[in-house]
Homo-oligomer: A and B are copies of this chain.
Amino acid sequence: MAQHLVTFHLDDPALGGHAPRPPAHVPTGTLLTEAARASGVEIVQPCGGQGRCGRCAVHITNGEVRRRSTLRLSAEDVAAGYALACQSVVEGDVSVTVPPQEKIERRLTTDRVVAEVEVPIGYDARAMQTIQRVSLALTPPSLEDQTDDWSRLVTALRQQAGVEEVDVSLALLRRLGGILRDANWDVTAILDTHYAPRTTLLDLRPGEPPLFGLAIDIGTTTVSCWLIDVISGQVLAQAAEYNGQIARGEDVISRIIYASQNGRGAEMQTLVIETVNSLLAAACEKAKVDPQDIFKATIAGNSTMMHLLLDIPASSIRLAPFVTAINHVPPLRAIDLGLKINPEAAIDCLPGVASYVGADVTAGVLSSGMGDGEQLTLFMDVGTNGEIVLGNRDWLVTCACSAGPAFEGAGVVNGMRATRGAIEEVWINGDTLEPTYRVIGNAKPRGICGSGLIALLSEMFLAGVLDKGGNLNSSLMLEEDDLHFVTQRPAAAGGAVRGRTRRVRPGEHGPEYVVAWANETWHGQDIVITHVDADNLLRAKAAIYAGYTVLAERVGVPLESVERFLIGGSFGKYLNVEKAVQIGLLPDMPWGQFQFLGNTSVKGAYLALLNRSERERITQIAARMTYIELSADNTFYDAFTSALFLPHTDLARFPTVAEALTKS
């Protein structure tokens, strides 16, 4: 097949303008995104390479490509040489300039603080933990007793520890003789007793080795990892980071489409495994733990993330009738997935319920405790998807809606995770339209996290910067003579001028509001919220609001009768309820009924990791939950459309907000 030379230039100011990359030699028919990767250039594909989002547009400066689709490009763009990298095919030598890539990348690897996680009261590793260590004293072999090493060990396990049935891997068998002799026949066996009486030997060590475990939540946007001492139950370190798959699609649908192409399932798996490996390495370093001493990992995550983690085809999840390949994953070993912990470590993937209600929700329900009491409880897990569970200890119904990653700081120009440098709270002066903000860690701001975005939306709305429809009020922009006025009176530069403000200004994608000026920020660039950002946030909150209201309607429970409103998700902890009600994300209920639980998914994984009964309860929860398919009729769509306003088309649903609007 003919080979072509493809040369990429990065249009990156940080690299001094057009930085050339080593050219790639590729055969006819290669996608530009693939050619770019061959040149070491990663072009983000938020829609998963479907040609839908238009964000992989590149500039063909020399030669020509075949455009399979130009959906998001205007005729002028195409005439000027622009092409969608995910939809353009190399058919000759070509030079390509890649515009600055939207940064959906790692910012920080640890959360703002190590949340204080309390070890469950009465935790008793010997009684509750599936990973056990057993000290054994073996009689060395002799000419009188030529029993083989493995039988000798199995007999000792039976006689000294009451273990009747032991599985072992070939890899560990290979090491057996050496370990026994090096330890002079006094060893500690590390056992996985999850499937007792069937037991698995995970390792053999001299002395009394420590035992560690990992609780992991694989989110579409964010992956969280806790390192746990399974003897004491204590959380030793926590780490979180964007999922390495994020540049291959921002939502689960885009990821499924991307992964379903030939060979990309393995690529997606590698990306998320690399994320988990880097997180666990960071956690181990912090806590000074040897990853080889980690013998168990309990994993939660939505169904798509679980399939992609295991490289199990996920296409059936997005196509009617929307079924997963598997909800209850059999026991695995770390080596099956390439996790860099003890290769024999037990990998326990928690069970999900349906395509869009996965193990993140079952784990969340467990850790929320909503299935234990009589109170009618609504539990929401807000991540890239919003999953909602309604019920109590007698019944549980659940549904899901696609919120997008906006509240996790992705898909928003200056969005970021709730880590050091994130603006987490904003107030806007109604007169001057000047903002005040609070930054995590009291650092110079680097971006805005979910709670900051909600606050910002609410404040902009109440100050009149945003209208009810979520549009930036462009009449607030300075006009030419205002600029003159400002130049003459520098002291007034920060404030509103004749009812207008330079905070509102035209940007690349329509009007934008400047939250922080370049001279205040960590990176020396303005931090803004754009019209597109506001629209994304509005759609996210509308999807969630529509989700829980429709769910309550379906089961005939008025929203008012809900006694507790539990909120999980990474932003949950830092959220200002008042502001979340003001934008219509949360219903207008007494604030005391809301409770923020943080990452309920990883917490559920933690509880299941520690205690076999809690693990069993997650299976029971999964069995008890009734899934309701929102896509079955138009009710959800109607509710979503009505919620695409601040706070809602029907202001009567938000009496306290109506009151605040009157005052402001």
Contacts and interface: CB of A to CB of B under 8 A. Distances in A.
Interface stretch (A145-153, A482-490, A522-530, A590-598): A145-153
A149 B324 contact: yes
A19 interface: no
A321 B143 contact: yes
B146 A326 contact: no
Given A143-B632, A313-B178, A316-B177, A325 B150 contact: yes
B328 A151 contact: yes
Contacts of A315: 177
A15 interface: no
A142 B313 contact: no
B629 A143 contact: yes
Interface string A311-351: 11101100011111111111010001000000000000000
Interface centre among A170, A176, A330 (most CB of B within 10 A): A170
Given A148-B326, A327-B151, A143 B174 contact: no
Contact of A148 (B146, B167, B324, B336): B324
B146 A325 contact: no
A310 interface: yes
User: For chain A, which range describes its interface: under 10, 10 to 19, 20 to 34, or 35 or more residues?
Assistant: 35 or more
A178 B260 CA distance: 12
A191 to B, nearest CB: 15
A146 B352 CA distance: 12
A504 B176 CA distance: 55
A627 interface: yes
Nearest to A176: B325
Contacts of A322: 143, 146
B168 A321 contact: no
A327 B147 CA distance: 9
Contact of A173 (B321, B326, B355): B326
Contact of A325 (B148, B325, B328, B332): B148
Interface string A564-586: 00000000000000000000000
Interface string A157-182: 00000000001101001101110000
A312 B325 CA distance: 37
A335 to B, nearest CB: 11
A330 B169 CA distance: 8
B146 A310 contact: no
Contacts of A354: 146
Contact of A146 (B142, B143, B168, B627): B627
Nearest to A167: B330
B141 A327 contact: no
A327 B148 contact: yes
A325 B629 contact: no
A632 B146 CA distance: 13
B177 A313 contact: yes
Nearest to A332: B170
Contacts of A330: 167-168, 170, 173
Contacts of A310: 170, 173-174
A150 B148 CA distance: 40
Contacts of A326: 148-151, 173, 176
Given A151-B328, A174-B312, A311-B174, A321 B142 contact: yes
A326 B175 CA distance: 12
A233 B354 CA distance: 44
A321 B146 contact: yes
A315 B176 CA distance: 12
A411 to B, nearest CB: 28
A142 B320 CA distance: 8
Contacts of A177: 312-313, 315-316, 325
A122 B315 CA distance: 48
A102 B336 CA distance: 44
A361 to B, nearest CB: 15
Contacts of A173: 310, 312, 325-326, 329-330
A-B pairs, 4 with minimum CB distance: A150-B326, A148-B324, A148-B327, A141-B323
9 contacts: A141-B323, A143-B629, A146-B321, A146-B323, A147-B323, A149-B326, A150-B326, A173-B326, A176-B312
Interface of A: 141-143, 145-151, 167-168, 170, 173-174, 176-178, 198, 310-313, 315-316, 320-330, 332, 336, 354-355, 627, 629, 632
